[in-house]
Structure 1
Amino acid sequence: MSGAARPLGRSAVVCGIGSYVPPDKVTNDELSRRLDTSDAWIRSRTGIAERYVVSPGTATSDLAVEAGLRALKSASTEQVDAVVLATTTPDQPCPATAPAVAARLGLGQVAAFDVAAVCSGFLYGLATSSGLIASGMAERVLLVAADAFTTIINPEDRTTAVIFADGAGAVVLRAGDAGEPGAVGPMVLGSDGELSHLIEVPAGGSRQRSAGTPPEPGDQYFRMLGRDTYRHAVERMTATSQEAAELSGWRLDDVDRFAAHQANARILDSVAERLGIPAERQLSNIEQVGNTGAASLPLLLSQSAAEGRLTAGHRVLLTAFGGGLSWGAATLVWPEVQSV
């Protein structure tokens, strides 16, 4: 589903941003003590040196609340009309986690719901939140992307245990004009369910449960066919980035900062190379935080803004790819906003 170059009018505008990672850090050397791997192997194949993980008893909502608090503080507001939570790891299958997050943030009885698009979740949530604002249903929306991804990872599987981590990022969106800094530009979204087997958790859903048989060993964990996923991720993120830039009236040379889902350093390098975006214009934090699922993009934006790598006026191109398969891209000019 492609966006469209639209005339100036009511639009969703980023006015606050915040992020959070749990305090427990796990280095490659620590993982190497229990897995058949090494720091050099992990760095060479993923670009990751360390990651943050939840402690026992910590859930996705705990991460989401912390990031939400920071985004609300950044936006200097205590009230929104809706809360959208992008996650693959809800606190429980039912109910959605977003209402609990809204309640814990003291936001009252606002609309609150989850969006599930795996690592593309933030962009799908951004499109949904922008629609609420553009339609007039909301003046302000808190969009949170949070994942306790390590809770669905097999700790003995070195192909996934070294990559995935936990964290949360959030933005506050307000109604504004399409031409002002922070306005969400044209978006491109897509999916291919025929390839859903490339990224999946086989057990735990209605299909496995209705079969009346216990899950096969390991089926409760996340699994990914890495080689095929790599190819599709590079192709889809490259194509959607090109399309989003074109819809915005940008040349790729106009992009000041390229923010891609932090999936794997090799994927990021391949996409940037195909787009012709040099290293100095790429935002990256995968070395420090790993792949945090839906939280990846807002966590990257928040940390980059806090560190001064992303400043007001930068033309930003965002893209992501995840299970589903799902993918997307969007543009915006970064506003004058303080990351918390």
Structure 2
Amino acid sequence: MTQVDVIIPVFNTPHRFLTVALDSLRAQTFSDWNAWIINDASDAAYTEKLEATLKAYADPRFHYLYSDHKGPAGSRNVGIVEGKAPYVAFLDSDDCWMPELLARHVSALEADAGIVLVHGHYEQIDADGRRGGPVPPRQGLNDLDVPRLFAVMLRENFVATSSVVLRRSSLEQVGCFDESFPCLVDKELWLRLLNAGARFHYDPNVVFQYRIHAQNISKKTDLLLATRRRIIAKAERLVRENSSFAGIDWPSQKREMEHHMNREAAAVYLERGEFTRALKHSSPFHAGLSRASLLLFARSLYRSLRGFGRWSGATR
């Protein structure tokens, strides 16, 4: 039986990005894989080019599937259901694997039956493949137990999807990606796996290249903002229902998640010149200030407004 099913969703991905991703898969030193390339209802011209490209590769390990538009979660699920291999890996169509990724990750899973998911370090590249500044590897992740790892995941998604190889049996246990989430589908799944007690293993070596470009879904701020609110609500339910998370200070975790959500939104809105929306998400109510600090802020704002009124000649 094939050992790894590699899931590659495609939706109008720039062709030059896709071919780099596919070439990096074919260059793997571990060759016992099948790739499920899901066309998530790309437009007609792109579909024609994609199908011609895959035909030119003539690699029997490439399996092409066309799907109605389902988004990142649904299109990945199409490939997961089609495959049968004991391990499942994810490669986004604009990213690039290093040649040893599958070999390293499968070896880690084979060496320890208690490990459910292996992920690894990355470097950033731009649209032209130029490397960005170094990204330091994470420290201490493999020393944390599941509850503490869950707490870290609440604050930040430290698992890069294009570096993941995991056991199909564990994925089937918790369910696939939640198709009701338009983004952050990876973080939502990692939280469910950790909630089920899954152990993660982190490889500090650079195992893939993450491409930063204009079409990254992470740039869609409004979508991210709404989905982060859903993630917070779901995390709250998991913490309350799972007794092994009793030591997690949920009120503090929730505040930090909310602050991150609003800081992220404020920064992007400010960059866009949407000052009213930026101000909304950088207000003291979103900044985690105490009641006393809020009162001082209100007084300061009132004095400033009074001063502005006198300077502008406005009546009080």
TM-score (norm 2): 0.26
Between the two structures, name the one with larger relative contact order (CA 8 Å, sep ≥ 6). 1
* Structure number with larger C-alpha Rg: 2
As a proportion of its length, which structure holds more strand? 1
TM-score (norm 1): 0.24
